[in-house]
Amino acid sequence: MDNRTSNGILAGNPLFRLGLGVCPALAVTTCASAALGMGVATACVLVCSSLVAFVLGKVVSEKGTVATWIMVTACFATVAQFILKGWFPELASELGIFVPLIAVSSLLLSRADFASNNSLGAAMGDAVGMGIGYIIAMTLVGIVREILGQGTLFGSDLLPFTPMTLVALPAGGFIVLGLLMGCWNAITAKKNGKEETQA
Amino acid sequence: MTDISRILLFMVGCIFTHNVVFDRMLGVHDAGQPRRFETSVIYGVAVCIVMTLSAVCCWAVQTLLLAPMHMEYLQIIAFSLVVVAVTALTQLCVSKVKPEWMETLDNCLMPIAANCAVLGIAIVNAEAGYTFGYALLSGLCGGLGFLLAIVLLAGVYEKLEFAKVPEPFKGMPIAVISAGLIALAFIGFKGIA
């Protein structure tokens, strides 16, 4: 696998290591299927907008970058909203305003900035890696919050009781995300340590 | 209930009960940037101005342009354009009126346009179908709620600098968990409005 792609999934995971795209990761992760849907939608918009940002990067002046990236991502967020409302209306109503808010996701804007300053291969490798990393991270948060907060997994009953109702609340979202970030840091640090000793 | 008490309840609801950061979970990335206390106050005021203006402008675009012409599907693009324009205008005004603020904020207010709380409040207003007055109040109180949130978080960051935190939790993870504890305290406002 391309080095940049694997970096986006593990050591440079956008959600757990870089803290990008936190808002939807807290808001729509009360059940795993919505979290997965949001992750996939964001990843698709990410790849498309990075491609356009790479092309536009040659012509946009430095002062207008943020404005340009927002307009590019707003166009693709509109497309994503059409697709979700047309084919997955239940998911779209569950995600609510967080589909339009893909337009100003910190993840997309920072990656568009990266894409405009790098080669096409690097930009695409980065976008795909970050996209997959974001899907994995979102689903993980969703799974933990759904099991603890509702006692179900992907909508099917798993436990006969709800272990921690707090986890389904906004406050629980912050705490679960923080704990997962810490665990992710510990795991990737251990893995990096092993690689260093092998080398 | 009289009009004044209804308006006051709406304001308390927007600032505390449905706080943009801790309850609606908008603009968490922007609010979570480590800042000094003074910087956070100035940045919060700037966000508050942009949020109020863009709430009003987006309300106008929605009711006068998009709804009569049945072009609600262009909402995201139109609102994003309004937010970017309002931010650029605010940057221009602030740099003329308060140049010392701009120095504290690294001479650039454009990150505010990328703050999803600004666009988020505009979309919430449009979906709730607020009248002009409520849209204005919602923008203003949303901004005040954001100001409150980032000032609280800046205070927490200053304390965390001297805290003994386990190695993997240093930096972002402990900050997110602390934000969660503040959000827990905000649940206490649920009974009010």
Compute the nearest-CA separation of A110 from chain B (Å): 10
Q: Are A107 and A20 in contact (CB under 8 A)?
A: yes
B80 touches chain A (CB under 8 A): yes
> Which of A27, A67, A181 shows the shortest C-beta gap to B84?
A67
B183/A101 Cβ within 8 A: no
Closest chain A residue to the Cα of B29, Cα to Cα? A22
B123/A178 Cβ within 8 A: no
The structure tokens listed for A5 are 């792609």
d(CA A106, CA A14): 10
| ipTM for the assembly | 0.88
What is the domain partition of chain A in residue ranges?
A: 3-198
d(CA B188, CA B193): 11
The structure tokens listed for A38 are 């949001």
Number of domains chain B contains: 1
A75/B183 Cβ within 8 A: no
Q: What is the pLDDT tens value at each position of chain A, 199 positions in all?
A: 567 788 878 888 888 888 888 888 888 888 899 999 999 999 999 999 999 999 988 888 877 888 899 999 999 999 999 999 999 999 999 888 899 999 888 889 889 888 888 888 889 999 999 999 999 999 999 999 999 988 888 878 888 888 888 888 888 999 999 999 999 999 888 877 666 554 4
Question: Which residues span the domain enclosing B147?
Answer: 3-191
Separation of first and last alpha carbons in chain A: 19
Of A21-25, A177-181, B4-8, B31-35, minimum mean pLDDT range: B31-35
d(CA B112, CA B110): 5
